[in-house]
Amino acid sequence: DTEVTQTPKHLVMGMTNKKSLKCEQHMGHRAMYWYKQKAKKPPELMFVYSYEKLSINESVPSRFSPECPNSSLLNLHLHALQPEDSALYLCASSHILQGDTEAFFGQGTRLTVV
C-alpha cells in the first residue's frame, strides 16, 4: 500500500463552521505533513509531525489546528476560516529524518470557505 488517503475530497464551509480534514497512510511513515496549495502556486509547508509530535509549524494561524492521534493518521481541524483560506490542502508522509526519502502525497482536499 503506497497510498496517502485524504478525506473529504471537496469541502465547502462557512466562516463560522468547524470542520476537520483527515489523512491516513499505512506505509509505516513516521513523518506526516500538511501543505496548502493555492491555484497556480507551489505547495506551502504548514506543519510537520515526526513520531506523532509537532516538529515544524510554519507560523500558521491558530484557526488551523493539526492533530496526529497515531502513526497512521493526521487531522487538520478548521475553525473560523476566512475566504482567503480557500485552497487545496495536501497531506504527505515520508520516512523520518532521511533527506533522500521522498514524500508521498494524497490527492488533496479542495476547500472553499464562503
List of residues contacting another protein (CB under 8 A): 4, 6, 31, 33, 40-43, 45, 48, 50, 55-56, 90, 92, 94, 96-100, 102-108
Are 29 and 85 in contact, with CB atoms under 8 Å apart? no
- Chain centroid to Cα 55, Å, comes to 14
Please report how close the Cβ of residue 81 comes to another protein at its closest, in angstroms. 21
Q: 81 phi and psi, to 5 degrees?
A: -75, 165
Which amino acid appears at position 92 of this protein? Answer: A
Please report how close the Cβ of residue 86 comes to another protein at its closest, in angstroms. 16
Choose between 82 and 101: whose C-beta lies nearer to another protein: 101
Choose between 48 and 81: whose C-beta lies nearer to another protein: 48
Please report how close the Cβ of residue 91 comes to another protein at its closest, in angstroms. 8
The cell for 95 is 520516512
Choose between 85 and 94: whose C-beta lies nearer to another protein: 94
Q: CB neighbours of 70 closer than 8 A, spacing ≥ 6?
A: 52
